[in-house]
Amino acid sequence: MKKYIGLIILALSIIIAGVLIKSKPVAVAKENKEDIPYVKTMMILPRTVKASISSQGIVQPESELTLLSELNSRVEWLSTKMEAGSSFKEGDTLIVLDKRDYELALITAESEVLNAEVNLEREQAESELAKKEWKRVGAGSGSDLALRKPQMAQAKATYAAAKARLEQAKRSLSRTVFIASFDGRVRSTNIEIGTTVFPGTLLGNIYAISAYEIRLPIADQDIPFIGLEFNGKQMSDDAQLNVSLFLGNEKFEGRVIRAEAEVGPITKMRSVVARIDNEKNTKTNSNPIVVGQFVQAEINGIEISNVFVLPRNMVRDESIWVVDSRMTLFNRPVNVIRYENEFALIDEGIDSGDRLLITRLSSLINGKKVTFELD
């Protein structure tokens, strides 16, 4: 009996094992598909742009005047506006020199003119009388001395000299007073009340505030794109270039009025000079620009046609990554004609309609397949 039980258990074990073997799942090899990344691209099309040239400079007066004494005198009065940095208006009296000697000189000159005029009139009368007497006696044409011609010439010369001295006295007296001929500001003062002055003594420096100039150095690589002849001549209105000047958050508009003929002694660069109409800009800016400030400048240069403008950080080693119509990534060498701020201007190496790769991939391989959404 035990023998049959053992055989039954063995048979059942064999049957169970067979069932388990048949029900065991079979491993199926999966297909290893290529990982195709999704990327963002940008259509590249040619454009016409104006070159923008960056520079910087210091604001300087367009018109500055050095005040010099032309007389021997003494400073009698000095305006409170004649302090460095102070402003004044056209017509303001700034300095008065002691004028007493020059007032006396004027009175003397006026007296001399009056005496010379009386003497000339008397000589003219005597000369006419001499002519009549000579005709009456009928003694020919008469000599110069008999007709008082030398005396007449001397009287005329004396009168002319007296008038010249009078004009000189008037000019000297006028030079004792310094009156502003424009709205401006004082750069420096070299005198005080009581200072003795002589011809050539420096009294001070003033400048007009209606307009300023900024000398802007131009890098060698930017010269072909500014389109100017560096000859130092004043440019006509239609040839002047627009320039934007930046001071903090303020923006001022100006015009390039000339291109300097010589290289700067410090910068060793060529420069252009921009003019800013201070009165015009004061109306549009809360903080007016002043002399001595350092400003950034952007000059509008020549027009450049058929160029591609790309973000600067997309250009690496004079090449870019593009995606063609077959969704294939490849590297394309390009010719960058210039960089402007955050952009690169390219004229060769790109076909109109190419798509620039924007997405940053961990690996960039020529021929790699990608996918993107069409515009």
Model pLDDT for residues 335-365, shown as the tens digit of each residue: 999 998 889 999 998 887 788 888 888 888 8
Domain boundary (303, 324, 356) is at 303
What range defines the domain where residue 327 resides?
A: 41-49+304-369
Locate all alpha helices (DSSP H) within 230-345, ordered by sequence.
Answer: 278-282
Please name the residue that has the structure tokens 């009388």: 129
- Tokens read off for 10: 């063995």
**Triad 335, 336, 342: Cα angle to 5°:** 150
In whole angstroms, what is the distance from residue 291 CA to residue 222 CA? Answer: 27
Closest CA to 321 of 52, 33, 37, 34: 37
pLDDT, residue 13, reads 56
Burial label for 42, CB within 10 Å (0-12, 13-18, 19+), is middle
Domain boundary (162, 181, 206) is at 206
The domain spanning residue 342 has which CATH number? 2.40.420.20
Backbone angles phi, psi at 12, to 5 degrees: -65, -40
pLDDT, residue 67, reads 96
pLDDT, residue 134, reads 60
pLDDT, residue 368, reads 86
> How many other CB atoms are there within 10 angstroms of residue 288's CB atom?
14
Contact 101, 172 (CB under 8 A): no
- Tokens read off for 326: 């077959």
What crossing angle do the helices spanning 149-174 and 100-137 adopt, rounded to 10°?
160
pTM as predicted: 0.72
* Stretches in the chain below the pLDDT threshold 70: 1-34, 130-148, 283-286, 373-375
282 and 326 inside one domain:
no
122 and 223 inside one domain:
no
In whole angstroms, what is the distance from residue 95 CA to residue 93 CA? Answer: 6
Could you list the beta-strand ranges (E) of 278-318. 294-311
In whole angstroms, what is the distance from residue 143 CA to residue 33 CA? Answer: 133
In the structure, how many helices (H) and strands (E) does the chain have? 5, 21
pLDDT, one tens digit per residue, over 269-328 is 999 999 999 877 776 666 788 899 999 999 999 999 999 999 998 898 899 999 887 888
**Alpha carbon distances (Å) from 3 to 8, 10, 11, 14, 37:** 9, 11, 13, 17, 70
Domain assignment present for 5: no
Contact 226, 218 (CB under 8 A): yes
223 and 290 inside one domain:
yes
Contact 85, 186 (CB under 8 A): yes
User: DSSP class of residue 145?
Assistant: T
311 and 272 inside one domain:
no
19, containing H or E segment: helix 2-23
User: How many structural domains comprise the chain?
Assistant: 3
Domain boundary (186, 206, 226) is at 206
